[in-house]
Amino acid sequence: MIRAEHLAKRYGDTVAVDDLSFQIETGKVTGFLGPNGAGKSTTMRLMLGLDRGVGATTYDGKALRDYRRPPQVVGMLLEAGAFHPTRTARNHLRVLATAGAIPAARVDEALDAVGLLHVSDRRPGKFSMGMSQRLGIAAAILGEPKYLILDEPANGLDPEGIFWLRQFLKGYAARGNAVFISSHLLAELAQLVDDVVVIGRGKLIASTSMRELIASRSPGRVFARTAHERQFEDLLAQHALVYERVGDDGFTIAGVTTDDISRLAFEGRIPLLELTSRAGSLEGVFLELTEGAEEYRSGINTKG
């Protein structure tokens, strides 16, 4: 488990991170959300000891400096393009492998995993954004660390790359590791993360499971379709359920789950043609949570 406690960082008069505490559990992917300028990158740098600030971060109860070989404990991607442009991709990883006491064979394995093995002897100065990002991911996973801290890893990746990244990170966490990932691609993150940490203006807004976050902020809604609209409407009225008619045969029912409606329809002997959950989106919840905590705000109303 990663435990971040009372992290704080100031730049002059500006508070970048303000008494931030949360924890990241193994076996899960934890999303790190916040508007631009919320302090996500600074928090990650504080967690890794790259920036000097207040507070402490422990990995399985120990500070990173207490591990003999930190690259085998935590892998990170904080910035795509963090490599020397004329040092080949393979040599870049070889340097990291040497420093972290990581077997040399892992270099080609990591490059293969991110699909860069065929360009491993090329200088990365001319890599595309996506290729640079893949090289950064290769560097992060090089030591097969228990913890991955990734800042916007999907930036610049093509759809295949994003799909690969999602599968890879899910699999990585499922093997008992922990992945802490920040991204502005909320739809993508919604498919990936188990837990979320939301911050705004450097302060913690929420730290909970994804399911609980969405459930707490947007009461469940269910869409049902039936050819027996009249009986179904009566049934909903009998149970004092709030609903809306959608089209000729559709209903959107508030405050219930698909299980509830399925049971009711069965008891009322009303066959359903369709029954789906209309839970709130991560995007909607995020916008609601971070309203007023944005550093930069467009003139467009995002409340929808």
CA 197 vs. chain centroid, Å, equals 9
Q: How far is the CB of 163 from another protein (least distance, A)?
A: 27
Please check whether residue 100 is in contact with residue 107, taking contact to mean a CB–CB distance below 8 angstroms: no
Tell me which residue of 62, 59, 49 sits closest to 23, measured CA to CA.
59
Q: How far is the CB of 261 from another protein (least distance, A)?
A: 51
x-marked contacts with another protein along 204-243 as a string, rule CB under 8 A: ----------------------------------------
Q: How far is the CB of 69 from another protein (least distance, A)?
A: 8
Q: Radius of gyration (Cα) for the chain, nearest Å? A: 23
Distance CA 203, CA 39 (A): 8
Per CB under 8 A, the segment of 92-100, 166-174, 200-208, 237-245 that binds another protein is: 92-100
Nearer Cβ to another protein, position 34 or 75? 75
> Which one of 17, 110, 139, 293 is in contact with another protein (CB under 8 A)?
139
> Which one of 23, 58, 91, 252 is in contact with another protein (CB under 8 A)?
91
Q: Is residue 100 close enough to count as binding another protein by CB under 8 A? A: yes
Phi, psi of 193 (to 5 degrees): -90, 155
Please check whether residue 177 is in contact with residue 26, taking contact to mean a CB–CB distance below 8 angstroms: yes
> Which one of 26, 88, 218, 281 is in contact with another protein (CB under 8 A)?
88
Q: How far is the CB of 59 from another protein (least distance, A)?
A: 12
Nearer Cβ to another protein, position 91 or 281? 91
Phi, psi of 157 (to 5 degrees): -80, 145
SS (H, E, C) 51-83: CCCEEEEEECCEEHHHCCCHHHCEEEECCCCCC
Tell me which residue of 113, 170, 118, 159 sits closest to 136, measured CA to CA.
113
Enumerate residues 27-86 that contact another protein by CB under 8 A.
Answer: 45, 48-52, 64-71, 74, 76, 78-79, 81-86
Residues linked to residue 75 through DSSP beta bridges, in sequence order: 148
Nearer Cβ to another protein, position 156 or 220? 156
Footprint on this chain of another protein (rule: CB under 8 A): 45, 48-52, 64-71, 74, 76, 78-79, 81-88, 91-92, 94-96, 98-101, 139
